[in-house]
Structure 1
Amino acid sequence: MSSSINATTIPLPTTAAHHGSLSDLLPSHWTTQVTTWLDEDAPSFDYGGFVVGSSPRTAHLLCKSPGVLSGIPFFDEVFRQLDCKVQWHYDEGTFLDTSKEKGGKIKVATVTGPTRKLLLGERVALNTLARCSGVATKSKRMLDLVREAGYTGVLAGTRKTTPGFRLVEKYGMLVGGIDGHRHDLSSMIMLKDNHIWAKGSITAAVKAAKSVGGFALKVEVECQTEGEANEAIEAGADVVMLDNFDGEGLKVAARSLKDRWKGKREFLIESSGGLTEANVKGYINNDIDIISTSSVHQGVAHVDFSLKIEHGTEVPAT
């Protein structure tokens, strides 16, 4: 894979920097999701495919807006299932700068295969790559901002992901350098307001969670007040989430909790809700161990990619 003056590679998150590719995280069944996406887009006859036929062709993947390249395994799998080959010219995690003074478009990959199959995979592959790259780009942007503001803790996404597309969005967060947070209801026991109200109290809910989660699962409790946080810590919560506190209130509560329980309990403080690019400096403080935000994956702009078949050129059969 090549590099150039209009692209820079982002270091992997510290948890992954000296290990395998992030694609090694993907479970064995993930390729079936790609099959489902392809089935959704062509549930019956492929009329456009009939028009173009199966002559071998070359197509070029072009990036047309700045962003972090993310989602290569998903793009590759789309075309693998369609008997096409992909050659990448940039590494995943590379920031592609498409500003006009640097050309406006970047040729990111070359795809070869039967014409109709290139077009069968085009939209599915582009949609996935655009969304995943958008999440990675926003994640990197927010991480850069909190680090510039002096924050040393963990920046994480949330579980507020698109149904059926969580794996792609969580993958994009990791490529962007942030923590993916819990992936599902089985990953960590998070007790939210509805759990507490249904069980009757924070103490009772934590006790019940600990009885089945054992030593292997952390218990996190969503708290609306400092008093609720103190009850959760007393009950044995591993993480307390200060939910939707304002900037100053968050700082006061976090400092108070750390002072009160110093040397008595081991716990982490998470804040959630309200972080934006505009309020980073007033929001963050290092008494907070984890900042979680859905702003890195909800409503983010996609990175603009297109796939263009070479005009009048067929690839010789091999």
Structure 2
Amino acid sequence: MPSTEGAPAKGTVAHLLPQTYKRMVAEWLEEDTPSFDYGGFVVGDDMAEAKLLGKSKGVVAGLPFFDEVFKQLDCTVEWHYPEGSYIEGGKTHVATVRGPVRKLLLGERVALNTLARCSGVATASSNLLSLLRKAGYSNTLAGTRKTTPGFRLVEKYGMLVGGCDPHRHDLSAMTMLKDNHVWSCGSITQAVHAAKSAGGFAIKIEVECQSFEEADEAITAGADVVMLDNFTGEGVRACAKKLKDKWGRGNEARALVEVSGGLTPENVEAYVCEDVDVISSSSIHQGVKHVDFSLKVVPKVQAKGN
């Protein structure tokens, strides 16, 4: 899977989002205020504005979710930094939100939580991709399916903003045959044939492999991708070369070679090899540090002065 960096874009990452994300936002707001809004009663409905401040370094990501939170609350958002921008922190004025003050506060925590998490994923994705590019790797860095239940769309979106491939979105997007599938079925060949009978020509098949022999069997059976799982860096280079020598490279390749399993910024450089088409790592989205944001309502006196 060659890198698509530099390819002409027809739209923005936001154009990929399904309309269902708006329903997700509504559910988040309902979860946060299931009955009375006591704080909103205190402040009332006077018009106000609030500054979104970026307090730590990172890539800004998740604008559509942030926007939708406040759109559903009859507020407007003016962005001063476009999505994908890198901010230096130190209370960078990232956006201005305007609307009834109780609604600014009603959406505050939901919007900030989403933006902070999405930006954290984008930042980790961008950082690891930069590390790999400096190490000479020009192919694809991908995430994994180790995402937070109910929050997958936001995390996959953050990977895309950070420049990475989000990998399969769910069990229906691709057939990935892991060791448990193979053991339950009897063999790699049987598992691949069964997968093909169900998914037909439209669903790609990937097989998790522990050796060259397993990967070779998977490709022979018709797998589209073989994942070299939990190999050493030296083992990956040797196995990937052997597979490419036998099954072809580039447009002639019979299957893609993916490497995964415990890869982190601390060890991933050892796996850099142009015979590897995809490096996948959950370190770009699982347990990543959030980018810190706050939303500060402009005091009335200051607002009048503006």
TM-score band, normalised by shorter chain? over 0.9
Report the alpha carbon displacement of residue 15 of structure 1 after superposing the two structures with TM: 7.8
Q: Work out whether residues 57 and 314 of structure 1, in 8 Å CA contact, stay in contact via their aligned partners in 2.
A: no
| C-alpha distance 119-164 of structure 1, shift in aligned 2 (>3 A) | same
Tell me the residue number matched to 1:7.
none
Aligned counterpart in structure 2 of residue 146 of structure 1, from 132, 139, 153: 132
- Aligned-partner residue type, residue 160 of structure 1: K
Aligned counterpart in structure 2 of residue 296 of structure 1, from 281, 284, 305: 284
How many pairs were matched up? 299
Tell me the residue number matched to 1:9.
none
Tell me the residue number matched to 2:273.
285
Q: Work out whether residues 220 and 237 of structure 1, in 8 Å CA contact, stay in contact via their aligned partners in 2.
A: yes
Provide the identity percentage. 64
Task: Say whether residues 1:199 and 2:185 are aligned partners.
Answer: yes
Report the alpha carbon displacement of residue 34 of structure 1 after superposing the two structures with TM: 0.3
| C-alpha distance 23-105 of structure 1, shift in aligned 2 (>3 A) | same
Tell me the residue number matched to 2:5.
14
TM-score (norm 2): 0.94
Counterpart-to-counterpart distance in 2, 1:196 and 1:202: 5
Structure 1 residues 259-298: Cα deviation after superposition (integer angstroms, max 9, x where no partner)? 2233896110000013221223322111110000000001
Report the alpha carbon displacement of residue 226 of structure 1 after superposing the two structures with TM: 1.6
Tell me the residue number matched to 1:267.
255
Runs of 4+ in 1 over 3 A off after TM superposition: 13-17, 262-265, 313-316
Counterpart-to-counterpart distance in 1, 2:77 and 2:239: 52
| C-alpha distance 17-122 of structure 1, shift in aligned 2 (>3 A) | farther
Report the alpha carbon displacement of residue 312 of structure 1 after superposing the two structures with TM: 1.9
Tell me the residue number matched to 2:108.
122
Q: Work out whether residues 57 and 313 of structure 1, in 8 Å CA contact, stay in contact via their aligned partners in 2.
A: no
Q: Work out whether residues 227 and 257 of structure 2, in 8 Å CA contact, stay in contact via their aligned partners in 1.
A: yes
What pairs up with 1:1-318 in 2 under 5 angstroms? 14=5, 17-98=8-89, 104-262=90-248, 266-313=254-301
Counterpart-to-counterpart distance in 1, 2:74 and 2:293: 21
Counterpart-to-counterpart distance in 2, 1:293 and 1:262: 25
Q: Work out whether residues 137 and 274 of structure 2, in 8 Å CA contact, stay in contact via their aligned partners in 1.
A: yes
Report the alpha carbon displacement of residue 167 of structure 1 after superposing the two structures with TM: 0.4
Q: Work out whether residues 188 and 217 of structure 1, in 8 Å CA contact, stay in contact via their aligned partners in 2.
A: yes
TM-score (norm 1): 0.91
Structure 1 residues 158-177: Cα deviation after superposition (integer angstroms, max 9, x where no partner)? 01000000000000000000
Q: CA RMSD in A?
A: 1.7
Report the alpha carbon displacement of residue 19 of structure 1 after superposing the two structures with TM: 1.2
Q: Work out whether residues 244 and 253 of structure 2, in 8 Å CA contact, stay in contact via their aligned partners in 1.
A: no
Report the alpha carbon displacement of residue 314 of structure 1 after superposing the two structures with TM: 9.1
Report the alpha carbon displacement of residue 35 of structure 1 after superposing the two structures with TM: 0.6
Q: Which runs of 5+ in 1 are unaligned?
A: 1-12, 99-103
Q: Which runs of 5+ in 2 are unaligned?
A: none
- Secondary structure of the residue aligned to 1:171 is helix
